[in-house]
């Protein structure tokens, strides 16, 4: 093609047809410019397709992550509900406790979930680290996405603080006899008479009061609050998931 145009120019020059030569040259320049513009447009279209595909990939992976979180958190909520159901009578049982066996029975149902609220942030973190967050065209969806993970971070921080409080409760030296009892009461060779158990049933004793505070913290602060936070996250997750489904449908991403 280049040789073809060059030959035309040469013929015009040889024939001394300067006017036509300049007109031809201008036309050739226009054709080159048009070609460049078309190439740029095609390149832009190609880049837009790539960005569109990347956006689709992120949105679908977010959908998978949130679906996983919903299943996982629903299971965790069910476990916590079971814990709390068994623990409803613990304050009353502690008031009525008069023996080591009574304390042992309370401990058998005092399940707690010290682990934090676990969330799959893989796709969201990838979007943040690769600037992929900026290719989401639906800005309202992007706002809700950021709000969702900010809510999770807030509740995870709350759980860290609650866990640390729980450790402080358990470090109370007034609970030394209780911790020793808890560690050894199932050992058949353990002599119960070796430790002080006079605090059991003594509502004014430091050990009884410290144990009561610890149990209340586990039931309400750990298990209760954690279940409340999980429910809030599940509500946010389901709302965000519906929004993602609508986005995929409205832009034919499901096809």
Compute mean pLDDT per 10 residues along the chain, 255 residues long, and list them. 51 53 58 61 56 85 96 96 92 92 91 89 92 87 96 96 91 91 76 83 94 93 94 97 92 63
Q: Identify the pLDDT of residue 156.
A: 96
Q: Identify the pLDDT of residue 16.
A: 52
Q: Identify the pLDDT of residue 36.
A: 64
Query: How many structural domains comprise the chain?
Result: 1
In-domain check, residue 31:
no
Q: Identify the pLDDT of residue 55.
A: 87
In-domain check, residue 154:
yes
Burial of 126 (C-beta count, 10 Å sphere; 0-12/13-18/19+): middle
Q: What is the pTM of this model?
A: 0.78
Q: Give a three-class secondary structure readout of the chain.
A: CHHHHHHHHHHHHHCCCHHHHHHHHHHHHHHHHHHHHHHHHHHHHHHHHHHHHHHHHHHHHHHHHHHHHHHHHHHHHHHHHHHHHHHCCHHHHHHHCCCHHHHHHHHHHCCCCCCCCCCCCHHHHHHHHCCHHHHCCCHHHHHHHHHHHHHHHHHHHHHHHHHHHHHHHHHCHHHHHHHHHHHHCCCCCCCHHHCCCCCCCCCCCHHHHHHHHHHHHHHHHHHHHHHHHHHHHHHHHHHHHHHHHHHHHHCCCCC
In-domain check, residue 48:
no
In-domain check, residue 152:
yes
Q: Identify the pLDDT of residue 21.
A: 47
Query: Domain containing 234: what range?
Result: 54-250
In-domain check, residue 160:
yes
| CA 228 from centre of chain | 16
**Residue 95 exposure: Cα atoms within 13 Å on the Cβ side:** 4
In-domain check, residue 17:
no
In-domain check, residue 47:
no
Sign of CA dihedral 95, 99, 100, 105: negative
In-domain check, residue 30:
no
């Amino acid at each position: 093609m280049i040789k073809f145009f060059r030959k035309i120019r040469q013929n015009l020059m040889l024939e001394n047809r300067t006017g036509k030569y300049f007109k031809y040259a201008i036309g050739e320049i226009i054709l080159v410019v048009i070609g460049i513009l078309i190439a740029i447009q095609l390149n832009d279209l190609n880049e837009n397709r790539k960005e569109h595909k990347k956006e689709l990939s992120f949105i679908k992976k977010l959908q998978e992550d949130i679906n996983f979180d919903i299943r996982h958190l629903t299971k965790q909520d069910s476990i916590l509900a079971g814990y709390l159901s068994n623990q409803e009578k613990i304050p009353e049982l502690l008031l009525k406790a008069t023996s080591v066996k009574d304390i042992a029975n309370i401990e058998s149902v005092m399940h707690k979930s010290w682990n934090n609220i676990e969330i799959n942030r893989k796709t969201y973190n990838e979007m943040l680290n690769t600037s992929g967050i900026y290719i989401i065209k639906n800005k309202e969806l992007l706002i809700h996405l950021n709000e969702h993970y900010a809510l999770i971070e807030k509740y995870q921080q709350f759980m860290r603080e609650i866990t640390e409080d729980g450790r402080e409760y358990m470090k109370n030296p007034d609970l030394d006899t209780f911790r020793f009892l808890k560690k050894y009461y199932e050992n058949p060779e353990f002599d119960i008479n070796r430790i002080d158990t006079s605090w059991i049933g003594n509502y004014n004793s430091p050990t009884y009061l410290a144990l009561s505070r610890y149990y209340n913290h586990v039931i309400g602060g750990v298990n209760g609050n954690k279940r409340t936070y999980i429910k809030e996250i599940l509500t946010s997750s389901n709302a965000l998931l519906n929004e993602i489904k609508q986005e995929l449908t409205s832009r034919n991403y499901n096809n």
